Structure 1
Amino acid sequence: MSDETRTESVRFLRYAIERVVKAAGGSEAHAECISEAIGFAHLQGKLNQGLGVYEVIDLALKVGVMDMTSTPEVINEGPAWAVVDGRRSSGYYALNIMADIAIEKARTSGISIVYGGNHNDAGSFAAYVYKAYEQDMMAISSNNTPPLAAPFGGMVNLLSCPPFDAIVPAGDEPPIWASLKFGEFYDADISESILHNKPMQGKWCIDPVTGEVTDDPTDYAQPYEGYGRVWGYSCAGQIETPRTYALNLWNEAMTAIINPIGVPVTDLSDTDAYQSAIKHGTEATTTVGGSYYMCINPAVFGPIEAVKSRSDSFVSSIRDCTPRPGQRVRIPGETAYNNLQQQNDDIEVQVNHWDPFFNNIAGQYGLSEKTIRADFEAAESAG
């Protein structure tokens, strides 16, 4: 633990989140979807996709683009596909429903895809694809976001910075697991840089006047009052390579262009619009324009044990590669997977995410860390 983080129980974190969701009008099922996904991110060690992302939910509620009481519903489907209207709910609720539908359809179809829209942020997508992994299936999933990045070579934010997860069945070795984003930084990287007084991990901030790039976001940061993760910024976001740029555009096609109810990022509100909506009551869109969840069930095409064996053999061969001096050969997602297998109760949480959640977000419902912790400990004692 550092002075930037605190060690907490993931069980308490989930309990606290569920209390706040239900205080905001969410159902038990909705609360569990949100708490499980955020807790999962912490167990992975993805702190910027942990508790701080609840601020996006709170923002959407304040702006009026989210309905915590609604339940996503299927509006069209076939044997191997479906379309889910999020009904302005959270993406956490919508993506869990989409995942369950896709997994069930893939049991017989082999390959399925479920599109989603009209919902809000879903946080990290790791928990959703992991549901397929637990069923010996592969999953690929993402959603688009408000404009947070500029086209390659451009200096105006017109692109998403989308979360993306894909996972493959495995045996004894960690799975092949891509858990990343198709951009260089989120708003969380801006706030982290400013609050912790350190440069960003690359020269990704594009000056809106000169087009020059820098790793110091000080002149561009636009804090949202009461939040420690969700900040706006006046600079454009640099995409460093044509490869990431191409993947970003491909993912936009998947989330919002071929999606029958998708809304492309170019038609979503930007951070300025959300600031204006909070301050002046102007209109804004949901924080997501579209999403997809693709599931592949290898057992339909051949023995699943053969798939697991090939995956294990491949991963083992990669790990056994001779490393360069001072380096180690890493398997993407391996550390996160191993963290999950340890089933530790202790997790790290960023202090600048913890304090706003309890002091500002929970506080607006008459809740506090002290009262929630007392109730949690009483429930634990009661068994």
Structure 2
Amino acid sequence: MRERTVMVPVEDLRRFVRDVFVGVGTAPEDAAIAAEVLLASDLRGIESHGVSRLKMYYDWIRKGIISPQVRFEVVGEGPTTAVVDGHTSLGHPIAHRAMTLAIAKASQYGLGAVAVRNSSHYGIAGYYALMAVREGMIGLSFTNARPSVAPTFSVEPMLGTNPIAFACPTDEPFPFCFDAATSITQRGKIEVLAREGKPTPAGWVVDREGNLATDTTAILQGIPKELYALLPLGGAGEEMGGHKGYGLATMVEILCAGLSAGSFLWALSGMDRDGTPRPHRLAHFFVAVAIEQFVPLDEFRATAGGILRELRGAELAPGAERIYTAGEKAHAQSERILREGVPITPALQRELKLIQAELGLAGLPL
């Protein structure tokens, strides 16, 4: 029988992902958070960071790179700030607790900022920014990541994809949510291309000779060996603004590692110099801003919504159908996925079935 993509109901998949994390030793409440973050990614159409990443976390936990038992230690604290040590635990619950703490501080003092060190990959940055929106606040979320991006005029992977997420409430049916890597693409998108058997678009990746690379399999195999590097936003050189993406990635690295006294650059590679696997020790930074400490919330919502509507009302480029603002496509995608289910490709089905068999979990409709 020919393999095909199947649509799996969101709740079935959420339950399965939670059970996988519980099966490898995560407490049920923390496993539920991890599952929620991964499904939130799929709902928003960010396949590169959704359930397709489950086996990555599963393998890292099995290898001892991530501790499935979450340890969240506040090692320094002030009225509006805190520094947290995650002790190489699963990143999603660590980040969730950190943003919850930032929101609590903002509720009392107007601003809350929490820096985290010794954590691990936390999924999509936008999830945590949107946590603040649900409390009527502005949210910002940053994280550094494994080295994969070359500085401008270099071919060596030094920086991570280092995303920036900003979210705020509006008077529209959905919030404004900007969530993007500071590189042209992320490793996760290349992994999606590999599962689909597609080449990597020219301009995303360079090899050690500075040539544009398109062999997806070779890129994925070569990135851990530092044979390839992703390019920062704007691409190679300065002509198209590559130095701006490089600068933003460096800003994120400084905010996350600098304010947490955490690890940075090559130290996040997940391996010793001899290639022995080790924890990534990522650093995050979260900010919550209580809008009502500045203006009434309804007034802010109306202003934000007005800005978005005026932008969408701009004159269209020839051949363009419409203009979007950040968060709009994700909202529409969420509504569709909730109706139709999450698309699970044949390659991803094989990964999930393998995990299912190894843990002896109940059947997933694949």
Tell me the TM-score normalised to structure 1 length.
Answer: 0.85
1:222 and 2:221 correspond: yes
Please tell me whether residue 372 in structure 1 is matched to residue 366 in structure 2: no
CA distance in 2, matches of 1:233, 1:194: 19
Give the equivalent residue in structure 1 for 2:211: 212
Whether contact under 8 Å (2:24, 2:58) holds in the other structure is no
Q: Which residue pairs with 1:336 in the alignment?
A: 330
Equivalent residue for 1:381?
none
2:182 equivalent in structure 1: 182
Q: Distance in 2 between matches of 1:132 and 1:366?
A: 37
DSSP-derived class of the 2:210 partner: coil
Structure 1 contact 47–349 (Cα < 8 Å) conserved: no
Unaligned runs of 5+ in 1: 224-229, 375-383
| Equivalent-residue separation in structure 1 for 2:197 and 2:333 (angstroms) | 28
Match of 2:340 in 1: 346
- Report the 3-state secondary structure (helix = DSSP H, G, I; strand = E; otherwise coil) of the residue aligned with 1:113: strand
Aligned-partner Cα distance in 2 for 1:326–1:231: 41
State the AA in 2 paired with 1:252.
Answer: E
* SS in structure 1 at match of 2:75: strand
Contact kept, 8 Å, 1:141 with 1:293, in 2: the verdict is yes
Structure 1 residues 180-220: Cα deviation after superposition (integer angstroms, max 9, x where no partner): 11112322333333342323234222122x22113333443
TM-score by length of 2: 0.89
Partner of 1:123: 123
> 1:332, CA displacement in angstroms?
1.6
Deviation by residue 1:134-180 (Cα, 9 ceiling, x = unmatched): 11101110211110111111111111012332101211254321111
Alignment of 1:1-383 (within 5 A): 5-172=5-172, 174-208=174-208, 210-222=209-221, 234-239=227-232, 240=235, 241-260=242-261, 262-269=262-269, 273=271, 282-284=276-278, 286-327=279-320, 328-340=322-334, 344-351=338-345, 354-367=348-361, 371-373=362-364
Secondary structure (helix, strand or coil) at the match of 1:201 reads: coil
Give the aligned partner of residue 379 of structure 1: none
Structure 2 stretches of 5 or more lacking a match? Answer: 236-241
Deviation at 1:234, TM superposition (A): 3.0
After superposing the two structures, state which structure 1 stretch, 191-200 or 146-155, moved more.
Answer: 191-200
In structure 2, relative to structure 1, the CA distance for the partners of 1:242 and 1:325 (3 Å cut) is same
Aligned counterpart, 1:378: none
Alpha-carbon distance in structure 2 between the residues aligned to 1:4 and 1:191:
18
Stretch deviating more after TM superposition (137-146 or 65-74): 65-74
Counterpart CA distance in 2 for 1:75 and 1:36 is 27
Q: Distance in 2 between matches of 1:26 and 1:13?
A: 17
- For 2:255 and 2:347, locate their aligned partners in 1 and report how far apart those are by CA, in whole Å: 31
Work out the CA distance in 1 between the residues paired with 2:257 and 2:4: 37
What secondary structure does 2:338 align onto? Answer: coil
One-letter amino acid of the counterpart of residue 358, structure 1: L
Q: Which amino acid aligns with 1:372?
A: G
Per-residue deviation at 1:360?
A: 2.6
Q: Taking structure 1 as reference, are residues 309 and 198 closer, same or farther at Cα in structure 2, changes over 3 Å only? A: same
Hey, what's the Cα distance between the residues in 2 that align with 1:130 and 1:82?
20
**Is the Cα contact below 8 Å between 1:63 and 1:274 reproduced in 2?**
no
Letter in 2 for 1:304: L
- Contact 1:51 1:349 (C-alpha < 8 Å) held by counterparts: no
Deviation at 1:101, TM superposition (A): 0.6
Deviations 1:208-236 (A, max 9, x none): 2x22113333443329xxxxxx9877312
